[in-house]
Amino acid sequence: MRLRVIATDYDGTIATDGVLHPVVRDAIDTARRQGVLVVIVTGRILSELRDVAGDLNFVDGVVAENGAVISLAGGHTVQLGQSPPMSLVTALTERGIDFKVGRCVIEMDAGFSAVAMSLIREQELPLAISFNRQRMMLLPASISKSSGLQQLLGILGVSRHNALGIGDAENDHELLRCCEYAVAVQWGSEKLKQCADHVVAGNGPAAVGAFLKHVSSQVRLPLEHSGHHKVVLEAVEGQPPFEMVIRGRNVLIAGDTQSGKSWLAGLLMEQMIVQGYTVYVFDPEGDYASLGALPNTVVLGGGHFLPETENLLLLLQQGLNVVLNLSHLDHQTKADYIHTHLPLVAKFRRERGYPHRILLDESHYFLNGIDDDKLLDLDLAAYTLVTWRPSELSASVSKAMDIVAVTRLAEKNEVDAIAALSGDATDPARWYEPLANLAVDEAALLPPTAEAKGALRGFRVAPRLTQHVRHCTKYLDKAVDAQKAFVFSENGTPTGRTSATLCDLVTGIADCATHVIYGHLQRHDFSRWIGHVFGDNDLAGSVRILESQHLASDTVPAFSEALDGAIRERYHATRR
């Protein structure tokens, strides 16, 4: 994961008694010269921060008042919360309490917390109390360091998943939770250290300066993690979920055709999307279109608009999740598209930090040459490669995989290839039977995956959020091979009409004589053809019910319309 921004607390983290440490100031300058943005996230009132830190143009932005106020380069400010209620200000004044008032915050000694709580309840105010050592802040309930930082990062065009957050006290929990990589300091809150990915050793801000210089010189965020961003692989009622961190790790998913490998890959993608990551999917067979039901996700191609270089760059700049459905292209055109645009997406990611994960299905077709690793930016990792021929992947690509997940895999030479990745090529036979016998909803992690702990770790694949449709648009209007086409017949004699696509099947049924369709309904030919040729047992089951219903109600002529509706509902597409 690319490091794009450092978000740091001020007092106690990079400053002592309000004074910014010179080593930290130098580290901030170094980071910005290397293209890393630096922002301050503080509980201080903005005017007070300016009093102690001076001109704030040494950073790219400030979140002040614990998230309530944003300050941008040039001094422009944005207030994110409501001003303090005058009724509360008056009540505190009448009680002789010493306090400060900012644009949104009221700050006072933490010893007055009982009085503040009583007044908030008495006046029925939508305020929350945030403690910071011996001080406390009264703020609108929706305001936090996290909410303010996310607003600032949105303005700067940076994802929080490319952010490193660093703090020292109890009001920094939300800051660290917001960032992809969380850092606490040795001299700070014990609870905060327990939540951090890393703890800076030392006894003051100078140590933070040294740490910032080191981390900003790296392309990637550090790989250590506390596990607060995980994907769920298995969810069994009554048991803890089987989870895994995939940030900054390359994932290989291998399995036979129709073994569930694309289902598993889609599971990872949809969980990342829900967590706010940006993903790009190169989808040669139309397996991932259902991801379009998720927020900020578009599915392009599949016979419709497919973005080329300039348009793809425009999409990348919008920070959307994109599924590129290449199912309507012939093989060579698919390869040309991927060879042109896969490096383009990787180059953009190196510059901007996202997309955070790039998936390539049928990867053995496109990454099997000596130089094909040049299509990938393996330094930044975070690729997911899906294949039913792991043996055909180039050696350099295979060796770069950090996680190996396998669905049913029966061919021994393919198991041998997986075993070689596991460092167990001398005895691949022990994997043959367990991998060949995996059910369609089962998978296994293998070494070198750390979570496999040196062995095969099987699991039942967790439920999907979105409906998976295998090759969901490929056969709507692109023909299957002639020998697989549906043949309309009367008493076993072909009528001369065939259908090689789902759309054409609907048209063919509408055009054929009623008694011909009646015979096919009696034999459930349509549902059997859909299940056998397309492997879509869900649609086949729905069609079988329709066949029985229209036979029983003697409404055979209406079957075509009912079938059309079932296909459109299943594939979210209109018959053309």
User: What is the per-residue DSSP string for 177-238?
Assistant: HHSSEEEEETTS-HHHHHH-SEEE-SSSHHHHHHHHHHHHTSSBPPS---SSS-EEEE--TT
Residue-level pLDDT at 455: 87
Angle CA 360–363–367, to nearest 5: 115
Under 8 Å between Cβ of 466 and 293:
yes
d(CA 199, CA 176): 12
Going by pLDDT thresholds of 50, 70 and 90, the confidence category of residue 566 is confident
The residue-averaged pLDDT of 99-112 equals: 95
Catalogue all structural domains in the chain, each as residue range(s) with its CATH number: 1-73+146-226 (3.40.50.1000), 81-142 (3.90.1070), 231-460 (3.40.50.300), 474-571 (no CATH)
- Give the Cα separation of 183 and 192 in Å (integer): 9
| Residue 502 to residue 489: CA distance in whole angstroms | 17
Per-state percent for the chain, helix, strand, coil, to nearest 5: 45, 20, 35
Which pLDDT belongs to residue 426? 60
Quick check: 418 and 390 in contact, CB under 8 A? yes
Cβ–Cβ under 8 Å, residues 277 and 479? no
Confidence of residue 433 (pLDDT cuts 50, 70, 90): very high
**Backbone φ and ψ of 504, nearest 5°:** -70, -30
Structure tokens at 509: 């049924």
- Is 445:451 a contact under the CB 8 Å cutoff? yes
CB 345 within 8 A of CB 316: yes
- Residues 207-233, buried b or exposed e (16+ Cβ, 10 A)? bbbbbbbebbeeebbbeebeeebbbeb
Contact 145, 60 (CB under 8 A): no
Task: Report pLDDT digits (tens) over 449-471.
Answer: 989 888 899 999 999 888 655 55
Least confident among 197-206, 235-244, 333-342: 235-244
Q: Once rounded to an integer, what is the mean pLDDT over residues 530-540?
A: 82
Instruction: Name the residue with higher pLDDT: 74 or 71.
Output: 71
Whether the Cβ atoms of residue 463 and residue 456 lie closer than 8 Å to each other: no
480 confidence band (pLDDT: 50, 70, 90): confident
The angle formed by the CA atoms of residues 156, 157 and 159, to the nearest 5 degrees, is 110
540 has a pLDDT exceeding 80 = yes
Residue 473 is predicted with a pLDDT of 55
Percent of the chain scored above 70 by pLDDT? 96
pLDDT at 353: 95
CA separation, residue 563 to residues 260, 515, 521 (Å): 26, 17, 12
> Cα 66 to chain center, whole Å?
28
Contacts of residue 247, Cβ cutoff 8 Å, sequence gap at least 6: 1, 180, 221, 223, 225, 229, 356, 382
pLDDT digits (tens, 9 = 90+) for 131-188: 888 899 999 999 999 999 999 999 999 999 999 999 999 999 999 999 999 999 999 9
Q: What's the CA angle centered on 124, arms 119 and 128, to 5 degrees? A: 70
Q: What is the pLDDT of residue 470?
A: 53
